[in-house]
Amino acid sequence: MKSLADIYSHLPDAPSEKTLERVDYEARHWSSPIKGPLKPGTEEHKKAVAQMFRDTFNPYKPSVIDWPELDPETLHRITSLPIWDIAVQTEGKARLRMAAYAAMIDDPDMKDALSRNAWEENRHKEVLSKLVEAYKIPMAPEPPYVEPKDTEWAYLVTGFSECVDSFFAFGLFALAERAGLFPMELIETFEPVMQEECRHILLFANWLAWHRASMPFWKRPWFELRVIGVWIFLAYERMGLARSIDDNGEEHTQDNNFTVTGAKDMTNIDIKVPELMQLCLDENDRRFAGYDPRLLRPTTTPAIARAIIKGAKIWGCVKSKCCPAKSAA
Ligand SMILES: [Fe+2]
Ligand SMILES: [Fe+2]
């Protein structure tokens, strides 16, 4: 397996292996020096969240990534994944929505953290654009990125969407690594992006708790209704495939729900849904493990995954008639 230093070794001012290892470690491990609890709504919590986001920044540069040459089979596997248009556009939209929301809030700490998050989304878009260019992946034209009319709604949609996508992407990524269908250099290149999404949803979960705790109590019911609305919108959005036509008149079908349904494209390992859910849960725990346990983690998608595992167990039990109630009947 190539090390990070090998990947950057073509650069005249390539950072040393030690530097890369330190930066990578610091992006994954962070604890607040503040003693005692970090309660959402307090200055201590808010400052810790902003500091975590600053201190764990990974300064990799998309423009220097040396994309590995791929054999025809791997190249075909990568270029035919139904995700590239939607992935590039999602990062572009995320940058715009996060920047718009950051511009709207007054608190300097949260403004700083959210602006940095917007910048990192743009860097993800750059990484993807470089990959698309390197492997000549045909793309549909990008739609214009329009400032959202309802900035808070757009930020909530992006934030919750990242919580769902990142959770499943963690599992798929681990699966792809185990299956060995993609070259290790590519896996290594996307590893910091994956960890960055973990930091993003850590920020979102703590922003959400801070926002809830610091808003006037009379605004809270309307806000909670909006949160429910966002989840309904996301469920609806993920039921469909997006279709678009490129400059050559070719139709592009993009899977809005690839992170949930993409296991078959990422691996030749036969994996059942409950096993995949367990892998996502394990990877989710592993990626969050290095961050201060007093900071909140996203909970809804892991809870859905646990419910699916439990449901599958009960269903398996009913089918094999191993339930005491069923066998007694
Ligand atoms: Fe991103
Ligand atoms: Fe993100």
pLDDT tens, position by position, 154-175:
999 999 999 999 999 999 899 8
Residue 329's pLDDT is what? 42
Confidence of residue 316 (pLDDT cuts 50, 70, 90): confident
Q: Two tokens at 228?
A: 């429910």
Q: How many domains does the chain have?
A: 1
Alpha-carbon span 164 to 235, nearest angstrom: 10
Q: Can you give the residue range of the structural domain that contains 223?
A: 39-328
Q: Could you tell me the distance, in angstroms and rounded to a whole number, from the CA of residue 321 to the centre of ligand 2?
A: 45
**Cα–Cα distance, 91 to 264 (Å, whole number):** 24
Q: Flag whether 17 is in a domain.
A: no
Ligand 2 centre to CA of 292 (Å) is 19
Residue with tokens 């596997």: 77
Q: Tell me how far CA of residue 224 lies from CA of 203, 215, 219, 220, in angstroms.
A: 19, 12, 9, 6
Ligand 1 centre distance from Cα of residue 182 (Å): 21
pLDDT at position 251 is 58
pLDDT tens-digit readout, 246-297 = 555 565 556 666 655 666 666 666 778 899 999 999 999 999 999 999 999 9
CA 243 to ligand 2 center in whole angstroms? 24
Expressed in angstroms and rounded, the spacing between residue 197 Cα and the centre of ligand 1 is 6
* Cα distance between residue 6 and residue 189, in whole Å: 11
pLDDT of amino acid 124? 94
Arithmetic mean of pLDDT over the chain: 87
Cα 121 to ligand 2 centre (Å): 6
* Dihedral (Cα; 271, 274, 278, 281), 10-degree rounding: 120
195 in a structural domain? yes
Task: Report yes or no on 18 lying in a domain.
Answer: no
Closest ligand, as measured to the CA of 127: 1
The Å distance, Cα 200 to ligand 2 centre, comes to 5
- In the reported structure, the alpha carbon of residue 120 is separated from the centroid of ligand 1 by a whole-number distance in angstroms of 7
**Domain membership flag for residue 9:** no
From ligand 2's centre to the CA of 313, what distance in Å? 33
Report the range of poorest mean pLDDT among 3-7, 26-30, 287-291.
3-7
Q: Which DSSP state fits 63?
A: G
Q: Which residue has the higher pLDDT, 254 or 23?
A: 23
**Any idea which ligand is nearest the CA of 124?**
1
Q: How far away, in angstroms, is 253 Cα from ligand 2 center?
A: 23
Does a structural domain hold residue 19?
no
Q: What's the CA-to-centroid distance between 83 and ligand 1, angstroms? A: 14
328 CA distance to ligand 1 centroid (A)? Answer: 53
pLDDT at 12: 55
Cβ 23 vs Cβ 82: under 8 Å: no
What confidence score (pLDDT) does residue 315 get?
85
3-state secondary structure of 102: helix
Query: Which whole number is the average pLDDT over 21-50?
Result: 95
Token code pair at residue 323: 């339930």
The predicted pLDDT at position 176 comes to: 86
CB 64 within 8 A of CB 131: no
pLDDT of residue 1: 43
CATH number at residue 304: 1.10.620
Q: Between 323 and 47, whose confidence is greater? A: 47
pLDDT tens string 53-92: 999 999 888 887 888 899 998 898 888 888 888 899 999 9
- The Å distance, Cα 122 to ligand 1 centre, comes to 8
Q: What is the pLDDT of residue 207?
A: 98
Q: Is residue 318 domain-resident?
A: yes
Question: Distance (Å, rounded) from C-alpha 196 to C-alpha 189?
Answer: 12
pLDDT at 327 > cutoff 80? no
- Let me know if residue 1 belongs to a domain: no
**8 in a structural domain:** no
Tokens of 111: 């403004």
Minimum-distance ligand to the CA of 162?
2
Q: What's the pLDDT tens digit per position in 210-260?
A: 999 999 999 999 999 999 999 999 998 887 655 554 555 565 556 666 655
Q: Where are the alpha helices (DSSP H) in the chain?
A: 4-7, 17-28, 43-55, 72-79, 84-104, 108-134, 151-179, 184-214, 220-237, 258-261, 263-266, 273-288, 300-319, 324-328
Interval between CA 111 and ligand 2 midpoint (Å): 16
- Top pLDDT among 302 and 180 is at 302
